[in-house]
A and B are shown apart, each in its own frame.
Chain A
Amino acid sequence: MHLKYESQLREPLVRGNKNYRQVTEDIVRPIEAKPTRLWYIGFFIAVALLLFGVYSVYREVTYGIGEWNLNKTVGWGWDITNFVWWVGIGHAGTLISAILLLFRQGWRTGVNRAAEAMTIFAVMCAGQFPIFHMGRVWMAFFVLPYPNTRGPLWVNFNSPLLWDVFAISTYFTVSLLFWYSGLIPDFATVRDRAFTKLRKRLYGLASFGWTGSTKHWQRHESLSLVLAGLSTPLVLSVHTIVSFDFATSVIPGWHTTIFPPYFVAGAIFSGFAMVQTLMIIVRKVFAMEDYVTLGHIEAMNKVIVLTGSIVGIAYLTELFMGWYSQNKYEGYTFWYSRAYLFSPYGWSYWGMMACNVLSPQIFWSRKMRRNVFVTFFMSIIVNIGMWFERFVIIVTSLYRDYLPSSWSVYYSPTIWEIGFYAGTFGLFFTCFFLFAKYFPVIAIAEIKYVLKTTGDGYKEQMSAIEAQPLEAFIKDQTHHH
């Protein structure tokens, strides 16, 4: 057997000297216990928001897009802003579960399950917006290429909007498969220790009859690795394609080649902020501080300061190009509609700058990165900032374009437009509350896999080994077969 070794400099991924049984107990406890009062309160608030969203959507479907304040020339407003925002949030889950798996980042094990759940729920929310923006939502299936009696009239495969249909649906499907295949062994763990018949039956169904056979684990590992390898370019492609919705147009402020990397960085930025918001609550409510440690929070804050700064550079590059291109429409969009504080939407641009570029710089300080309150506060700020970013891109480019005669009046949303957005929060948190109650929020099997190479017990053991003379070390630690 090979020698497992992890540097003394690394922080333990799991705190406390735990054994496998304790890991199971700690993570399964919330599933086996009755929900707390706090859970019920949170769940009912989420369901109430969801119902308000359903009513808002009902208004929109009944009376048409006019229920929203969309007009000429602001044909995309809150809806597409929210769509891009939610898709972006989803990206952190895939980054954590797939890209960090390929990069062998051990800290992903503490947060990947919840982050992947977040991805799936966020993509579900995102999908609502373009679907209901169609207006005649009962014809939404027209986006699918199927032989039909209208010619057949096919969809336009050259359009970024159709690429989006494929990208988002593939992303949702692959994320769901990745997430669920990881859940199967953990559901089996819950099933085998269930003490009520109903739980045994339901988790029995959910676990697909998993036994933990060595061959199955071998295939499972291979499957996870390939799905991670597929998800990595997939997640980059999804936000790239979302950015193409804008970048392939000829609207000033949209027509730029910088969009794909800038959108992907922004997506990861906002997604990590959402993971922080959720994980800080989860670790507190379920007493999982040993599994989602300050080390995890710090690692995610490092990603936030990196991606926030990439986004900042993108903003500055756009401003530079607005001037350097000497295109008066670009210049007007960037230097008047956006960067001029007293222009109609200048507030949103500077709100975005303050939230996304300036405030995350606080995370250059280690003390701040490890401060749970600062992190929680900043995670909200970042998501507000990223919402502003999408709003700035969409609305400030649309409300004044080439012809002053078609400049629109000041666009602000109606209550039903806001209600739709609030409703997706309801959907997201309803799903997340159910997930937190009925699913293992931390990947049990993956924690067990890293348990023996991390944790305080391991560090103590390694310190003793490191203190040994070399000869004794070689003699003790090499296994001969």
Chain B
Amino acid sequence: MAKKKFVVGCFEDEAVLFPAVKKVRAAGYKIHDVYTPFAVHGLDHALGLRETSIHTAGFIYGITGTTTALSTISWIFTKDWPLNIGGKPHFALPAWIPIIFELTVLFAAVGMVLTFCYLCQLAPGVKKHHFHPRATDDLFVMAIECTDTTNTDDLQAFLQSNGAIELSVQVAEEGWWFGRYDNENVPFQNKEIVAA
């Protein structure tokens, strides 16, 4: 994967971050991502991200579970091995509802979590570039993708004037790779760190 150059600005407060996001976008810069220590509501809209469809995926997995349970049980009890249970009907739908329900929930939950991990590229052993270690602690870290014409000094000054407390320019892989967090042989390099 190609490396890219990013200008990174760190914010201390989400109340400062929101107007900054708006101004950076209005100025025509491309925000690669904003890394936050918790789910900041409304930030996805401020960044212009579309709504996630993961719940739709969950629904599809759910009905897959429903049909799997219903078709399997009815095949087993009416075709494959019809057991005579007290002379009751072989197709005993009411008695199957608990298992059908459980499998619906099971398929939906497992499918959604796997989809979530796939979409976000999360797995044990996956390593990603972290623009700032405090992004999981108390900083809101905005990474702006640079183009050939981006003047990084101007952009840093612009971020600083909008409340960023720490600035840096980093060249990094934007994707993920397999690696360990205790090894520092990571494919990125810190170009320069400008203290605000």
Contacts and interface: CB of A to CB of B under 8 A. Distances in A.
Interface in A147-199: 151-154, 156-158, 160, 162-163, 166-167, 170, 173-174, 177-178, 181, 184-185, 188-189, 191-194, 197-198
Contacts of B125: 205, 209
Contact of A209 (B39, B83, B122): B122
Contacts, number: 210
A174 B109 contact: yes
A221 interface: yes
Contacts of B42: 1-2
A153 B81 contact: yes
5 contacts: A194-B181, A213-B33, A218-B52, A219-B54, A226-B108
Contact of A167 (B98, B117, B124): B98
Contacts of A192: 130, 133-137
Most A-side CB within 10 Å, residue of B42, B55, B109, B133: B109
Interface in B25-45: 33-40, 42-44
Interface in A291-330: none
B103 A166 contact: yes
Nearest to A189: B136
Given A157-B73, A217-B39, A222 B96 contact: no
Most A-side CB within 10 Å, residue of B72, B81, B101, B181: B181
Interface string A230-258: 11011001000100100000000000000
B102 A167 contact: yes
B113 A181 contact: yes
A152 B35 contact: no
B106 A193 contact: no
A152 B81 contact: yes
Contact of A212 (B37, B73, B123): B37
A194 B34 CA distance: 22
A205 B103 CA distance: 30
Contacts of B80: 152, 154
Contacts of A211: 33, 35, 128-130, 135-136
B76 A208 contact: no
Across the A-B interface, give the 8 residue pairs with the lowest CB-CB distance, nearest first. Answer: A204-B181, A209-B126, A20-B138, A208-B122, A445-B38, A158-B95, A201-B182, A163-B98
A209 B37 contact: no
Contacts of A223: 54, 112-113, 116
Contact of B127 (A21, A145, A204, A222): A204
A452 B112 CA distance: 30
A90 B102 CA distance: 17
Given A156-B85, A181-B116, A185-B38, 11 more contacts: A24-B137, A157-B92, A158-B92, A162-B99, A201-B181, A213-B33, A219-B119, A223-B112, A230-B105, A445-B39, A448-B37
Interface of B: 14-15, 18, 22, 33-40, 42-44, 47, 49, 51-52, 54-55, 58, 62, 72-73, 76-77, 80-81, 83, 85, 88, 92, 95-96, 98-99, 101-103, 105-106, 108-110, 112-113, 116-117, 119-130, 133-138, 141, 176, 180-182
A234 B62 CA distance: 13
B181 A200 contact: yes
B76 A1 contact: no
Interface of A: 1-2, 19-21, 24, 145, 151-154, 156-158, 160, 162-163, 166-167, 170, 173-174, 177-178, 181, 184-185, 188-189, 191-194, 197-198, 200-201, 203-206, 208-223, 225-227, 230-231, 233-234, 237, 241, 244, 444-446, 448-449, 452, 481
A189 B137 contact: yes
A1 B18 contact: yes
A329 B99 CA distance: 32
A1 B108 CA distance: 33
B136 A201 contact: no
B4 to A, nearest CB: 15
Contact of B110 (A24, A173, A206, A241): A173
Contact of A21 (B39, B51, B110, B138): B138
A365 B58 CA distance: 44
Contact of A216 (B88, B109, B120, B123): B120
Nearest to B95: A158
Nearest to A167: B102
A209 B127 contact: yes
Contacts of B76: 145, 154, 157
A204 B106 CA distance: 28
Contact of A197 (B14, B38, B102, B182): B182
A231 B124 CA distance: 25
B13 to A, nearest CB: 9
Nearest to A224: B39
A475 B131 CA distance: 37
B49 A218 contact: yes
B47 A184 contact: no
A154 B85 CA distance: 13
A217 B135 CA distance: 13
Given A153-B81, A219-B120, A222-B55, A212 B182 contact: no
B109 A173 contact: yes
A308 B34 CA distance: 47
A205 B83 CA distance: 48
A21 B136 CA distance: 10
Nearest to B177: A209
Contacts of B123: 208-209
Contacts of B180: 201, 204
